[in-house]
């Protein structure tokens, strides 16, 4: 099975933010902080997902 990569690893957040901006939106300050921490290797994508789940999932 072949794996296709549409966006280089080091550009994934730029791509994601661009997709949000198309809809006239922008990431929150909290999301920007998560993105920067993940870029620096301080947290993993799993930790980003966990933080977003805690913030946005209905209880």
* Cα 43 to Cα 59: distance, rounded to the nearest angstrom: 25
Confidence at residue 59, expressed as pLDDT on a 0 to 100 scale: 62
What is the Cα 35 distance to its own chain's centre? 6
Say which DSSP state 56 is in.
Answer: H
Confidence at residue 47, expressed as pLDDT on a 0 to 100 scale: 98
pLDDT digits (tens, 9 = 90+) for 1-59: 667 767 788 899 999 999 999 999 999 999 999 999 999 999 999 999 999 999 988 76
Confidence at residue 6, expressed as pLDDT on a 0 to 100 scale: 77
Q: What is the pTM of this model?
A: 0.79
Tokens encoding 50: 């966990």
Confidence at residue 10, expressed as pLDDT on a 0 to 100 scale: 85
């Amino acid at each position: 099975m072949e794996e296709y990569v549409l966006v280089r690893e080091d550009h994934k957040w730029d791509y994601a933010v661009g997709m949000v901006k198309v809809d006239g939106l922008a990431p929150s300050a909290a999301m920007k902080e998560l993105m920067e921490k993940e870029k620096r290797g301080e947290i993993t994508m799993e930790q980003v997902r966990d933080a977003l789940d805690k913030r946005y999932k209905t209880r």
